[in-house]
């Protein structure tokens, strides 16, 4: 482990070591040092700091290139915070601590070899117990690629069109904004087509993400210096969220609820069209520059929970995947109302992994939530993401000059990033309908003893492997409806208590690609014996202990890894179930 301390002391006269560096008041202030490490490779970096002047940020740059924005929460004690990771090389290396949002004290920086990170243990069950199939499917899909692939996104339709026209590929995610739908803006002439753009993009197979630059419902200064259209900024309104929430009978609280009800109308249009939404309200709250974060974490968390309750329980919006957008633990509203954690990072020309931010989010929920880079100024280079184990599930580049101006992202780099398909799913692929991945529903019929119905597959891809009943999701069907129909057609059984379990992403050697939605159920009809109703597809059904199936799936996964055959072959989705969701071993 390396430790670099500082001998200079001023201001407080206190330090964890022999001194500290203060200042960081000018934009050009920085500390630079050069060293030759004992060993090359990936290293964890930590800063020891003191923050007596409030919440701040610093920026740590490694070897003149990629770096990390580091959050420094307010404190009057010396604290240690992760500054991400650095890939040290043999010979001399440089580290710079650059001013970002100044006035803080730095005592030391330490580096230690990074431990290999184990498999993620994230949950893909939506926090909304009534989440519909669209939301469940989206969250499960993101879980199935998390740690393996990353999706690209682009904020606003105009900028997405620019990427398509100039890069030659289309991002997987369209970022839209509900900013211009509420009364404080529509009453002044604002209007928007973002919902219509989102509906059209989803119809083409894209994923929809939505943010809400919520203009304060009242108290806008509306001056030349602070115009009404900047009403989401703290310094453009007198609106105080803490006092508004203190009394549910006051006029300002009523206005908040009215705005929430207004955007619920727009979100319901998406739900009615079968579109799931990566929904990110109250973004960047900890920065304090938006009014919902101006009075600190407690009012903001309270407002977030009001939003969740109003949209979920009152308006019955079950198509939302809830995305929280802050890395500070004090601001986190809780695991029960968050599906995905995220951060926004803007570092001009830095295409690195932003590992400090990623690691902070990893720690925030103990690796139980999927992590996304919901806004970035500069695209992230795939090779660096992989090297630094920064498994962002998607990134979304902000629009305008950030994507097309050339200073934040060169066109050559954009083409290079979008061309990397070895590990990263950078594009929503445009393909013939016959080539599109299909959706199958795998039905795990179980009894009280933990046995499941299985049979040998015939007449199609995966012939000769052991499978559960199931089949294609037909247009307009729910997962439960598909499960009940397929089970009846294949086994003659009537089932109920159908519950969503998870999803796998299955690419078969026969040129087939399926997303398999797994559900569990029990037999509710009088007939308890499965019959081969379609013998050309499966000659016989039998009851097999879940634990035995799980063992067989593991044996096959290991055999495939070692390049050898096994006696019993399992259908690929079951093998992927074993690979991707080890916690399901004891699910029955």
Name the region of 489 (left: φ>0; alpha: ψ -120 to 50; beta: rest): alpha
Neighbours of 335 (CB within 10 A): 16
Helix 251-272 / helix 297-309 crossing angle, nearest 10 deg:
50
CA distances for 586 relative to 262, 452, 583, angstroms: 44, 13, 7
DSSP 230: G
Question: Residue written as tokens 């050069």?
Answer: 34
Q: Report how far residue 86's alpha carbon sits from residue 43's, in angstroms, rounded to the nearest whole number.
A: 5
Q: Report how far residue 250's alpha carbon sits from residue 255's, in angstroms, rounded to the nearest whole number.
A: 9
Question: Residue written as tokens 């990566």?
Answer: 278
- The DSSP annotation for 411-456 comes to HHHHHHHHH--SS-B-S-----GGGSPEEEEEEEEB-TTSEEEEEE
For the question of residue 284 being annotated catalytic, the response is yes
Exactly one of 46, 183, 298, 375 is catalytic; name it.
375
User: Is the distance from CB of 83 to CB of 68 less than 8 angstroms?
Assistant: yes
Q: Nearest to residue 140, comparing CAs of 116, 124, 156, 129?
A: 124
Q: Report how far residue 235's alpha carbon sits from residue 225's, in angstroms, rounded to the nearest whole number.
A: 10
Give the start-end residues of each E strand in 89-167. 93-101, 105-113, 151-155
Q: Say whether 138 sits in a helix, a strand or coil.
A: helix
Q: Nearest to residue 325, comparing CAs of 397, 375, 257, 377?
A: 375
Q: Report how far residue 506's alpha carbon sits from residue 515's, in angstroms, rounded to the nearest whole number.
A: 6
Number of residues in the chain: 588
Q: How far is CA 380 from the centre of its chain?
A: 15
The per-residue b/e assignment along 151-190, b for 16 or more CB within 10 angstroms, e otherwise, is: bbbbbbbebbebbbeebebbbbbbbbbbbbbbebbeeeeb
User: Is the distance from CB of 447 to CB of 497 less than 8 angstroms?
Assistant: no
- The DSSP annotation for 569-581 comes to PBPHHHHHHHHH-
User: Is the distance from CB of 100 to CB of 69 less than 8 angstroms?
Assistant: yes
Q: Report how far residue 72's alpha carbon sits from residue 87's, in angstroms, rounded to the nearest whole number.
A: 23
Exactly one of 284, 286, 381, 427 is catalytic; name it.
284
For the question of residue 298 being annotated catalytic, the response is no
Q: What are the residues facing 570 on neighbouring strands?
A: 466
Question: Residue written as tokens 């006092």?
Answer: 243
DSSP 213: -
Label the pairing between strands 340-345 and 320-324: parallel
Helix 411-419 / helix 157-167 crossing angle, nearest 10 deg:
80
Q: Say whether 76 sits in a helix, a strand or coil.
A: strand
Burial of 226 (0-12, 13-18, 19+ CB in 10 A): middle
Residues with a catalytic annotation lie at: 284, 375
């Amino acid at each position: 482990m390396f430790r670099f301390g500082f001998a200079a002391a001023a201001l407080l006269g206190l330090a964890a070591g022999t001194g500290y560096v203060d200042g960081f008041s000018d934009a050009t202030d920085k500390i630079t040092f050069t060293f030759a490490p004992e060993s090359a490779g990936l290293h964890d970096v930590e800063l020891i700091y003191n923050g007596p002047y409030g919440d701040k940020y610093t920026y740590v740059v490694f070897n003149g290139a990629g770096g990390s924005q580091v959050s420094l929460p307010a404190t009057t004690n010396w604290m240690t915070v992760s500054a991400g990771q650095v890939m040290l090389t043999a010979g001399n290396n440089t580290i710079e601590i650059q001013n970002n949002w100044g006035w803080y004290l730095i005592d030391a920086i330490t580096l230690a070899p990074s431990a290999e990170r184990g498999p993620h243990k994230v949950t893909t069950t939506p926090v909304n117990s009534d989440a519909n199939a669209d939301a469940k499917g989206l969250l499960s899909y993101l879980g199935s690629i998390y740690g393996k692939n990353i999706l690209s996104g682009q904020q606003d339709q105009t900028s997405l069109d620019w990427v398509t026209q100039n890069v030659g590929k289309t991002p997987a995610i369209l970022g839209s904004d509900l900013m211009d739908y509420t009364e404080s803006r529509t009453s002044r002439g604002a209007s928007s087509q973002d919902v219509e753009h989102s509906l059209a993009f989803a119809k083409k197979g894209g994923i929809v993400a939505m943010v809400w630059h919520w203009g304060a419902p009242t108290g806008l200064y509306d001056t030349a210096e602070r115009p009404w259209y900047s009403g989401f900024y703290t310094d453009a309104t007198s609106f105080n969220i803490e006092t508004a929430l203190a009394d549910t009978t006051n006029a300002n609280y009523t206005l908040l609820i009215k705005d929430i009800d207004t955007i619920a109308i727009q979100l319901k249009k998406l739900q009615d069209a079968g579109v799931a939404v990566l929904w990110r309200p109250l973004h960047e709250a900890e920065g304090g520059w938006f009014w919902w974060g101006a009075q600190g974490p407690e009012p903001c968390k309270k407002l977030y929970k009001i939003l969740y309750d109003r949209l979920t329980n009152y308006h019955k919006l079950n198509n939302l995947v809830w995305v929280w957008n802050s890395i500070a633990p004090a601001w986190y509203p809780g695991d029960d109302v968050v599906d995905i954690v995220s951060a926004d990072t803007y570092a001009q020309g830095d295409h690195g992994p932003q590992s400090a931010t990623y690691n902070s989010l990893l720690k925030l929920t103990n690796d139980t939530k999927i992590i996304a880079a919901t806004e970035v100024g500069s695209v992230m280079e795939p090779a660096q993401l992989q090297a630094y184990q920064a498994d962002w599930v998607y990134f979304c580049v902000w629009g305008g000059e950030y994507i097309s101006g050339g200073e934040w992202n060169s066109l050559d780099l954009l083409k290079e990033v979008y061309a990397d398909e070895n590990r990263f799913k950078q594009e929503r692929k445009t393909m013939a309908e016959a080539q599109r991945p299909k959706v199958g529903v795998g039905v795990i019929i179980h009894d009280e003893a933990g046995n499941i119905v299985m049979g040998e597959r015939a007449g199609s891809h995966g012939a000769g492997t052991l499978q559960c009943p199931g089949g294609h999701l037909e247009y307009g069907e729910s997962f439960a409806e598909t499960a009940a129909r397929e089970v009846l057609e294949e086994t003659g059984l009537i089932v109920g208590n159908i519950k969503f379990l998870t999803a796998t992403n299955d690419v078969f050697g026969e040129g087939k690609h399926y997303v398999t939605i797994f559900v569990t159920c029990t037999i509710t009809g009088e007939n308890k014996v499965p019959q081969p109703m379609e013998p050309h597809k499966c000659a016989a059904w039998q009851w097999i202990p879940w634990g035995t199936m799980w063992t067989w799936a593991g044996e096959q996964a290991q055999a495939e890894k070692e390049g050898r055959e096994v006696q019993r072959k399992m259908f690929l989705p079951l093998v992927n179930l074993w690979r991707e969701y080890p916690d399901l071993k004891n699910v029955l």
